[in-house]
Protein backbone atom coordinates (compact mmCIF):
# COMPACT_ATOMS: atom_id res chain seq x y z
CA UNK A 1 0.00 0.00 0.00
CA UNK A 2 2.78 2.45 0.97
CA UNK A 3 4.59 1.74 -2.33
CA UNK A 4 1.38 2.54 -4.23
CA UNK A 5 1.06 5.87 -2.41
CA UNK A 6 4.67 6.73 -3.08
CA UNK A 7 4.27 5.91 -6.78
CA UNK A 8 1.14 8.06 -6.97
CA UNK A 9 2.93 10.86 -5.13
CA UNK A 10 5.62 10.82 -7.83
CA UNK A 11 8.58 10.79 -5.46
CA UNK A 12 7.15 13.11 -2.83
CA UNK A 13 6.98 11.89 0.73
CA UNK A 14 3.85 12.22 2.87
CA UNK A 15 5.67 15.09 4.61
CA UNK A 16 5.57 17.08 1.35
CA UNK A 17 2.00 17.82 2.15
CA UNK A 18 0.75 20.14 -0.55
CA UNK A 19 1.83 18.18 -3.64
CA UNK A 20 -0.07 15.22 -2.24
CA UNK A 21 -3.36 17.09 -1.81
CA UNK A 22 -4.71 15.73 -5.10
CA UNK A 23 -4.16 12.22 -3.86
CA UNK A 24 -5.78 12.98 -0.51
CA UNK A 25 -8.65 14.59 -2.39
CA UNK A 26 -9.32 11.52 -4.48
CA UNK A 27 -8.92 9.21 -1.47
CA UNK A 28 -11.16 11.15 0.86
CA UNK A 29 -13.69 12.28 -1.71
CA UNK A 30 -13.79 15.70 -0.05
CA UNK A 31 -13.33 19.14 -1.46
CA UNK A 32 -9.59 19.74 -1.69
CA UNK A 33 -9.81 23.30 -0.42
CA UNK A 34 -11.71 22.31 2.71
CA UNK A 35 -9.01 19.75 3.52
CA UNK A 36 -6.23 22.19 2.77
CA UNK A 37 -7.86 24.83 4.99
CA UNK A 38 -8.24 22.38 7.86
CA UNK A 39 -4.59 21.27 7.68
CA UNK A 40 -3.20 24.77 7.22
CA UNK A 41 -5.28 26.40 9.96
CA UNK A 42 -5.62 23.50 12.37
CA UNK A 43 -2.32 21.65 12.70
CA UNK A 44 0.24 24.30 13.60
CA UNK A 45 -2.06 26.17 15.99
CA UNK A 46 -2.91 23.00 17.93
CA UNK A 47 0.70 21.81 18.02
CA UNK A 48 2.01 25.20 19.13
CA UNK A 49 -0.49 25.39 21.99
CA UNK A 50 0.59 21.95 23.22
CA UNK A 51 4.30 22.74 22.80
CA UNK A 52 4.09 25.99 24.79
CA UNK A 53 1.77 24.27 27.27
CA UNK A 54 4.22 21.47 28.00
CA UNK A 55 7.05 24.01 28.22
CA UNK A 56 5.23 26.11 30.82
CA UNK A 57 4.15 23.01 32.74
CA UNK A 58 7.65 21.51 33.05
CA UNK A 59 8.83 24.88 34.32
CA UNK A 60 5.88 25.38 36.68
CA UNK A 61 5.75 22.07 38.52
CA UNK A 62 3.15 23.33 41.02
CA UNK A 63 0.68 23.95 38.20
CA UNK A 64 1.51 20.52 36.77
CA UNK A 65 0.81 18.86 40.12
CA UNK A 66 -2.53 20.67 40.46
CA UNK A 67 -3.56 19.73 36.91
CA UNK A 68 -2.45 16.12 37.38
CA UNK A 69 -4.29 15.83 40.68
CA UNK A 70 -7.45 17.13 39.01
CA UNK A 71 -7.18 14.72 36.07
CA UNK A 72 -6.49 11.85 38.46
CA UNK A 73 -9.54 12.71 40.57
CA UNK A 74 -11.79 12.66 37.49
CA UNK A 75 -10.26 9.84 35.41
CA UNK A 76 -9.08 7.64 38.30
CA UNK A 77 -7.41 4.39 37.28
CA UNK A 78 -8.82 4.45 33.75
CA UNK A 79 -5.94 4.68 31.28
CA UNK A 80 -7.65 6.95 28.77
CA UNK A 81 -9.17 10.37 29.26
CA UNK A 82 -12.56 10.66 27.58
CA UNK A 83 -14.33 13.65 26.08
CA UNK A 84 -16.99 13.32 28.79
CA UNK A 85 -14.30 13.99 31.44
CA UNK A 86 -13.45 17.40 30.01
CA UNK A 87 -16.26 19.52 31.55
CA UNK A 88 -14.97 18.58 35.01
CA UNK A 89 -11.37 19.63 34.35
CA UNK A 90 -11.69 23.26 35.44
CA UNK A 91 -8.07 23.78 36.46
CA UNK A 92 -6.85 22.33 33.15
CA UNK A 93 -9.17 24.75 31.31
CA UNK A 94 -7.57 27.61 33.26
CA UNK A 95 -4.10 26.30 32.31
CA UNK A 96 -5.05 26.31 28.63
CA UNK A 97 -6.50 29.84 28.81
CA UNK A 98 -3.24 30.98 30.39
CA UNK A 99 -1.28 29.34 27.55
CA UNK A 100 -3.52 31.06 24.97
CA UNK A 101 -2.94 34.39 26.74
CA UNK A 102 0.82 34.14 27.22
CA UNK A 103 1.68 32.41 23.95
CA UNK A 104 -1.16 33.25 21.57
CA UNK A 105 -0.62 30.67 18.77
CA UNK A 106 -1.71 33.02 15.96
CA UNK A 107 -0.52 36.37 17.39
CA UNK A 108 -1.88 38.72 14.74
CA UNK A 109 -5.40 38.22 13.40
CA UNK A 110 -6.40 38.55 9.76
CA UNK A 111 -6.76 42.09 8.35
CA UNK A 112 -9.96 43.95 9.18
CA UNK A 113 -11.78 46.86 7.58
CA UNK A 114 -13.64 49.31 9.74
CA UNK A 115 -17.42 49.24 9.43
CA UNK A 116 -17.62 52.94 10.16
CA UNK A 117 -15.48 55.79 8.92
CA UNK A 118 -12.33 55.90 10.99
CA UNK A 119 -8.88 57.39 10.56
CA UNK A 120 -5.85 55.72 12.10
CA UNK A 121 -2.66 57.40 10.97
CA UNK A 122 -4.27 58.15 7.65
CA UNK A 123 -5.17 54.51 6.88
CA UNK A 124 -8.23 52.39 7.62
CA UNK A 125 -6.99 48.84 7.21
CA UNK A 126 -5.73 47.40 10.46
CA UNK A 127 -4.48 44.25 12.13
CA UNK A 128 -5.39 43.21 15.67
CA UNK A 129 -2.47 42.00 17.79
CA UNK A 130 -4.16 39.35 19.96
CA UNK A 131 -0.86 38.48 21.64
CA UNK A 132 -0.17 41.98 22.93
CA UNK A 133 -3.74 42.30 24.24
CA UNK A 134 -3.05 39.27 26.46
CA UNK A 135 0.06 40.97 27.84
CA UNK A 136 -1.65 44.26 28.58
CA UNK A 137 -1.29 45.14 32.30
CA UNK A 138 -4.58 47.03 32.10
CA UNK A 139 -6.52 43.79 31.59
CA UNK A 140 -4.17 41.37 33.33
CA UNK A 141 -2.34 41.67 36.63
CA UNK A 142 1.32 40.63 36.44
CA UNK A 143 0.96 39.63 32.76
CA UNK A 144 4.43 38.12 32.40
CA UNK A 145 3.89 35.33 34.90
CA UNK A 146 2.28 31.98 34.18
CA UNK A 147 -0.60 31.90 36.69
CA UNK A 148 -3.59 29.77 35.59
CA UNK A 149 -5.35 30.61 38.87
CA UNK A 150 -6.15 34.08 37.47
CA UNK A 151 -8.81 32.40 35.28
CA UNK A 152 -10.36 30.77 38.36
CA UNK A 153 -10.23 33.95 40.44
CA UNK A 154 -10.11 37.58 39.29
CA UNK A 155 -10.48 36.77 35.56
CA UNK A 156 -12.89 33.82 35.90
CA UNK A 157 -15.53 35.54 33.76
CA UNK A 158 -13.19 35.79 30.76
CA UNK A 159 -13.54 33.20 27.98
CA UNK A 160 -11.94 32.89 24.54
CA UNK A 161 -15.09 32.58 22.45
CA UNK A 162 -14.75 36.04 20.94
CA UNK A 163 -16.95 37.99 23.35
CA UNK A 164 -14.23 39.00 25.82
CA UNK A 165 -11.69 41.09 23.95
CA UNK A 166 -9.05 40.61 26.68
CA UNK A 167 -8.53 37.04 25.38
CA UNK A 168 -9.03 36.38 21.67
CA UNK A 169 -6.73 33.50 20.63
CA UNK A 170 -9.40 32.35 18.14
CA UNK A 171 -10.18 35.85 16.92
CA UNK A 172 -13.59 37.49 17.14
CA UNK A 173 -16.45 38.34 14.85
CA UNK A 174 -17.54 36.59 11.70
CA UNK A 175 -14.01 35.76 10.51
CA UNK A 176 -13.06 34.15 13.82
CA UNK A 177 -11.93 30.52 13.94
CA UNK A 178 -14.92 28.42 12.85
CA UNK A 179 -14.00 25.48 15.10
CA UNK A 180 -13.29 27.03 18.50
CA UNK A 181 -14.98 24.20 20.41
CA UNK A 182 -13.19 21.49 18.41
CA UNK A 183 -9.81 23.26 18.50
CA UNK A 184 -10.01 23.76 22.24
CA UNK A 185 -11.27 20.23 22.97
CA UNK A 186 -8.39 18.77 20.93
CA UNK A 187 -5.91 20.64 23.11
CA UNK A 188 -7.73 19.75 26.36
CA UNK A 189 -7.92 16.06 25.51
CA UNK A 190 -4.27 15.82 24.43
CA UNK A 191 -2.92 17.76 27.41
CA UNK A 192 -5.08 15.86 29.91
CA UNK A 193 -3.85 12.55 28.47
CA UNK A 194 -0.19 13.63 28.54
CA UNK A 195 -0.55 14.63 32.20
CA UNK A 196 -2.48 11.49 33.09
CA UNK A 197 -0.12 9.01 31.45
CA UNK A 198 3.26 10.53 32.34
CA UNK A 199 5.22 12.57 34.83
CA UNK A 200 7.27 15.18 32.98
CA UNK A 201 10.69 16.50 33.96
CA UNK A 202 13.50 18.40 32.37
CA UNK A 203 16.47 16.17 31.49
CA UNK A 204 19.21 15.82 34.14
CA UNK A 205 21.29 18.95 34.52
CA UNK A 206 18.79 21.27 32.75
CA UNK A 207 17.15 23.96 34.88
CA UNK A 208 14.00 25.95 33.94
CA UNK A 209 16.19 29.06 33.59
CA UNK A 210 18.20 27.25 30.87
CA UNK A 211 15.18 27.07 28.52
CA UNK A 212 15.21 29.65 25.75
CA UNK A 213 11.69 31.09 25.83
CA UNK A 214 12.16 33.31 22.79
CA UNK A 215 9.02 33.48 20.66
CA UNK A 216 9.43 33.43 16.89
CA UNK A 217 6.87 35.83 15.45
CA UNK A 218 5.23 34.71 12.20
CA UNK A 219 1.65 33.80 11.20
CA UNK A 220 1.91 31.32 14.06
CA UNK A 221 4.28 31.76 16.99
CA UNK A 222 6.66 28.90 17.74
CA UNK A 223 9.20 28.71 20.53
CA UNK A 224 12.67 29.17 19.10
CA UNK A 225 14.00 25.90 20.53
CA UNK A 226 12.67 22.36 20.59
CA UNK A 227 11.44 21.12 23.94
CA UNK A 228 13.39 18.22 25.42
CA UNK A 229 11.60 16.49 28.32
CA UNK A 230 11.86 13.19 30.15
CA UNK A 231 8.57 11.29 30.36
CA UNK A 232 8.05 8.76 33.16
CA UNK A 233 5.01 6.50 32.66
CA UNK A 234 2.50 6.64 35.52
CA UNK A 235 0.96 3.26 34.68
CA UNK A 236 2.86 -0.01 34.39
Residue 56 interacting with ligand HEM (CB under 6 A): no
Q: Name which of 114, 94, 205 is nearest 154 in CA terms.
A: 94
Give the C-alpha separation, 189 to 180, whole Å. 14
- Taking CB under 6 A as the criterion, the residue among 22, 65, 80, 110 binding ligand HEM is 110
Give the C-alpha separation, 100 to 220, whole Å. 12
* 229 touches 202 (CB < 8 A): yes
DSSP 125-194: EE--BHHHHHT-TTTSSSTTS--GGGGTTTTTT--SSSS-TT--TT--STTS-TTHHHHHHHHHHHHHHH
Residue 36 interacting with ligand HEM (CB under 6 A): no
Task: Tell me the window of 13-21, 39-47, 69-77, 189-197 that interacts with ligand HEM (CB under 6 A).
Answer: 39-47
* Min CB(219)–ligand HEM separation in Å: 10
Task: Tell me the window of 64-72, 138-146, 181-189, 203-211 that interacts with ligand HEM (CB under 6 A).
Answer: 181-189
Task: Tell me the window of 22-30, 43-51, 62-70, 207-215 that interacts with ligand HEM (CB under 6 A).
Answer: 43-51
Give the C-alpha separation, 79 to 104, whole Å. 31
Give the C-alpha separation, 67 to 77, whole Å. 16
Q: Name which of 146, 186, 156 is nearest 64 in CA terms.
A: 146
For CA atoms 231, 94, 55, 64, the dihedral sign is: negative
Residue 45 interacting with ligand HEM (CB under 6 A): yes
* Min CB(33)–ligand HEM separation in Å: 10
Interface of this chain with ligand HEM, residues 159 to 178, rule: CB under 6 A? 169-172, 175-178
Report the residue number, 72 or 136, with the smaller CB distance to ligand HEM: 136
- Taking CB under 6 A as the criterion, the residue among 52, 68, 102, 105 binding ligand HEM is 105
**Which residue is at the shortest CB distance from ligand HEM?**
171
Residues that bind ligand HEM (CB under 6 A): 37-38, 41-42, 45-46, 49, 105-106, 109-110, 169-172, 175-179, 182-183, 187
Amino acid sequence: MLEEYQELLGGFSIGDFFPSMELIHSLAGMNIWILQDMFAAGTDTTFITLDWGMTELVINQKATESAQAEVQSVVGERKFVQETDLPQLQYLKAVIKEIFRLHTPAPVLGPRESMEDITIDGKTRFFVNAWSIGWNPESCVDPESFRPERFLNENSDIDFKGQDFELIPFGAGRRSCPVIAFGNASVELALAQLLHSFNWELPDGIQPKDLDMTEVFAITMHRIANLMVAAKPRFS
